[in-house]
Amino acid sequence: MSLTLLAPRALLALLFVLPLVALYILKVRRERLVVPSTSLWLAARRDHTARSPFRRLVRETSLLLQLAAIVLTSLALSRPALRATSTAPVLVLVVDTSASMAASDGASTRIELARAAAIRAIDGRAGGEVIVIEAGAEPTRIAGPTSDSATLRRVVDALQARASRGSLGRAVDLAAEEIAARGGAGRVRVITDGAEPWTRRPGLPVDVDRVGHAADNVALTHIDVRRQAAREADQDVVVVDAIVQSFASSPRDVVAELRVGERAAGEQAFTLAAGAGHALTLPFTPVAGDPSRVVTLRLKYARGGADALASDDVAYARVPSAATVPVLHASASPDATWVRRALTSDRALAVTSLAPAELARPGAARDALVVEEGACIDVPGARAIVVLAPPPGAPCLGVTVAAAAATPPITSWETEHPLLRFLTFDGVHVRESTALSGAPALLRAGPTSLVADVSRPGRPGVVIGFAAEESDWPLRASFVLFFHNAAEAVRGEVASELASARTGEPLRVRVPPETSEVTLVGPRGVRRTAVAAGGVATFGDVREPGAYRAEWAAPRAGHADLAVNLASAAESNLRAVGETTEAPASGSAVTATPRAREAWPYLALLALAALAADALWLTRTRRRVSRRIA
């Protein structure tokens, strides 16, 4: 056992002793008066002597108490602690609650077998405390350290399998930290179905209880939805692509059923060979009255009944809004036709021409590519923005726009920007352009920036200092390719949101930039609220697969449909038995960390007691003097 100071710099507070002593020994200038007798001043003589300089400091009870208060306060602030290596053994139970633990095992499930094994370990221990760690999507200590068996049983009985991937390796690391904090006295007991591999740390005593038996299973491991324009019909076609994987030892007859809300949209029957995968494609025509933009794909089995795990027999995906990219073309000049020609030449773009002032309408540009000529308006909700020939003298999306001037030849350009990929400006001449500053330059003519990058997260954008008519760029293939890149950037942003999230991971929702609060409605109607910042709201640890809806009320009511899936081949493979490997000897072993018992609360109480005694002593002395005078 040793004494240590956790905050030794706090001992500098002992310097306050010096001014306190100085105040006691400094001579006080007194006014000389004539009195009829000195008998009434005997009580003040001792105090006067103590304050006379160049004389020995006289002991006073009040001074000693105040010095004690300063010393005790300084020691309390330095946080003295007694360190001792704990010898009390602790049992750390790590219970796997990943999706595979929900698999049926005879008349029971793997998680039920795990709960029974955990209770046996609690009841069979030879005394000591127990810590329970749940190895779900994130390792969490849910009980302990405690020796109360009733509390431990209650916590274990409440454990349920999560529909998400596990974190067994990190949970064992957390258990090792708990044991190290107690001096290394203890053991770890891991209760798992063995599906997830993990690494055993050197020096860590671990017992493993494997529950359940190998089981056949079929799973949906991937789903994707795309919308394509129909060649003969006027309405788009939505295509659902999925992968069905067999983790079974025999063939299975499978029926894949597709639904949009409550409406059946199609189905496909096929035979899945043992251990094989099947690429599934289901097209359907969307209906305007569909209440949800999330499709549900569910597996059913023609013979053999249901398989061992139900959570991977269903998958969800969001339907894209349109096969074409909406484009808003706002021009301040009716003679600007080159840009419109380039936009309308691409059949994948749905171009709408409007006046620049119309861009300010609420929701006008949501999920659209915005192209502005002769104007510069920051449009909320735009997926990408291109500004040509902004008005000089006014800031444009954070860019300072100078007056137009003759332009020297183009000297360099960037090709890493998503809107300038595969572009070349060789042979392009610009007659007149404004000089741009305040943002990264993408196209330069000597020291002059002709194109500036105004991208921000979730919205690429550029400001072009010249009009298309002031150059021969429209005569080059790169002009059309530039707007094609802009449309592809919009598709990429939309596709990143359409991708279904995984259970156990944060769910990000894109909302209007002005929105401050978003409510997420889950598959069972459970509502959660999150704060939105910068046009994004994040909901952490979404544990249940299914269709979700994010709702917001300001600046105007809106919603977004979202999909969350398990989509984990590792969790669906119920025949796998994960291997436990030994970490290399050079890795981090479990080391005893002495436990520190801090003494500052007791010292603080003693300091308060010294101050209280000083106050009591002073008031008592004054009362005694008053009685003598009386």
C-alpha distance from residue 363 to each of 240, 370, 372, 517, 559 (Å): 29, 13, 17, 18, 12
Please state, in angstroms and rounded to a whole number, the distance separating the CA atoms of residues 206 and 186.
10
> Both 331 and 429 in a single domain?
yes
Q: 394 lies in which domain range? A: 325-495
> Both 604 and 542 in a single domain?
no
Write down the pLDDT at residue 581: 47
E-state strands within 511-613: 517-521, 527-533, 536-542, 546-552, 558-565, 580-582, 595-598
The pLDDT-based confidence of 583 (bands split at 50, 70, 90) is very low
Is residue 331 within 8 Å of 365, Cβ to Cβ? Answer: no
Write down the pLDDT at residue 94: 93
Please state, in angstroms and rounded to a whole number, the distance separating the CA atoms of residues 611 and 616.
9
The pLDDT-based confidence of 458 (bands split at 50, 70, 90) is confident
User: 94: closest CA among 167, 19, 183, 30?
Assistant: 167
The pLDDT-based confidence of 496 (bands split at 50, 70, 90) is low
The two three-digit tokens of residue 38, written as one number = 């000195």
pLDDT digit string, tens, across residues 228-242:
766 555 667 888 999
The two three-digit tokens of residue 532, written as one number = 């939105």
- The count of residues in the chain is 630
Q: Provide the CATH number for the domain around residue 128.
A: 3.40.50.410
> Both 194 and 140 in a single domain?
yes
Does the structure show a pLDDT above 80 at 459? Answer: yes
For residue 191, being part of any structural domain is answered with yes
For residue 571, being part of any structural domain is answered with no
Q: Please give the residue that has the higher pLDDT: either 435 or 180.
A: 435
Mean pLDDT over residues 436-443, rounded? 94
Mean pLDDT for the chain overall = 82
Mean pLDDT over residues 378-406, rounded? 90
Does the structure show a pLDDT above 50 at 586? Answer: no
For residue 620, being part of any structural domain is answered with yes
Q: Which of 52-66, 243-257, 387-401 has the lowest mean pLDDT?
A: 52-66
> Both 54 and 100 in a single domain?
no
Mean pLDDT over residues 515-535, rounded? 89
Does the structure show a pLDDT above 50 at 572? Answer: yes
> Both 473 and 505 in a single domain?
no
Does the structure show a pLDDT above 60 at 85? Answer: no
pTM of the predicted structure, to 2 decimals? 0.62
For residue 482, being part of any structural domain is answered with yes
> Both 61 and 166 in a single domain?
no
Please state, in angstroms and rounded to a whole number, the distance separating the CA atoms of residues 140 and 170.
10
Q: Please give the residue that has the higher pLDDT: either 353 or 332.
A: 353
The pLDDT-based confidence of 536 (bands split at 50, 70, 90) is confident
Write down the pLDDT at residue 26: 67
Q: HEC profile for 598-627? A: ECHHHHHHHHHHHHHHHHHHHHHHHHHHHH
> Both 621 and 478 in a single domain?
no
The pLDDT-based confidence of 479 (bands split at 50, 70, 90) is very high
Is residue 92 within 8 Å of 188, Cβ to Cβ? Answer: yes
Mean pLDDT over residues 525-545, rounded? 87
Last residue of a domain, one of 443, 470, 495: 495
Write down the pLDDT at residue 68: 87
For residue 36, being part of any structural domain is answered with yes
For residue 251, being part of any structural domain is answered with no
Write down the pLDDT at residue 279: 92
Mean pLDDT over residues 9-24, rounded? 82
> Both 484 and 528 in a single domain?
no
> Both 474 and 555 in a single domain?
no
Write down the pLDDT at residue 325: 85
Last residue of a domain, one of 495, 519, 547: 495
The pLDDT-based confidence of 569 (bands split at 50, 70, 90) is confident
> Both 465 and 343 in a single domain?
yes
Is residue 223 within 8 Å of 241, Cβ to Cβ? Answer: yes
The pLDDT-based confidence of 623 (bands split at 50, 70, 90) is low
pLDDT digit string, tens, across residues 169-191:
899 999 888 888 877 778 899 99
Write down the pLDDT at residue 54: 47
Please give the share of the chain, as a percent, with pLDDT higher than 70. 84
Q: Provide the CATH number for the domain around residue 367.
A: 3.40.50.880
The two three-digit tokens of residue 86, written as one number = 């704990």
Does the structure show a pLDDT above 70 at 630? Answer: no
> Both 48 and 62 in a single domain?
yes
The pLDDT-based confidence of 475 (bands split at 50, 70, 90) is very high
Write down the pLDDT at residue 624: 58
Q: Please give the residue that has the higher pLDDT: either 470 or 623.
A: 470
Write down the pLDDT at residue 193: 87
Write down the pLDDT at residue 400: 94
For residue 396, being part of any structural domain is answered with yes
Please state, in angstroms and rounded to a whole number, the distance separating the CA atoms of residues 122 and 93.
9
Mean pLDDT over residues 13-21, rounded? 84
Is residue 597 within 8 Å of 3, Cβ to Cβ? Answer: no
Task: Pick from 27-31, 34-38, 345-349 the range whose average pLDDT is largest.
Answer: 345-349
Write down the pLDDT at residue 116: 93
E-state strands within 376-512: 384-388, 400-406, 412-413, 432-437, 441-445, 448-453, 461-464, 501-502, 505-510
For residue 232, being part of any structural domain is answered with no
Please give the share of the chain, as a percent, with pLDDT higher than 90. 29
Q: Please give the residue that has the higher pLDDT: either 581 or 482.
A: 482
Write down the pLDDT at residue 84: 52
Mean pLDDT over residues 138-155, rounded? 88
Q: Which of 251-255, 305-309, 323-327, 447-451 has the lowest mean pLDDT?
A: 305-309
Q: Looking at the 3D structure of the chain, how many domains does it have?
A: 4
> Both 484 and 350 in a single domain?
yes
Last residue of a domain, one of 495, 511, 528: 495
Burial of 447 (0-12, 13-18, 19+ CB in 10 A): exposed
Does the structure show a pLDDT above 70 at 53? Answer: no
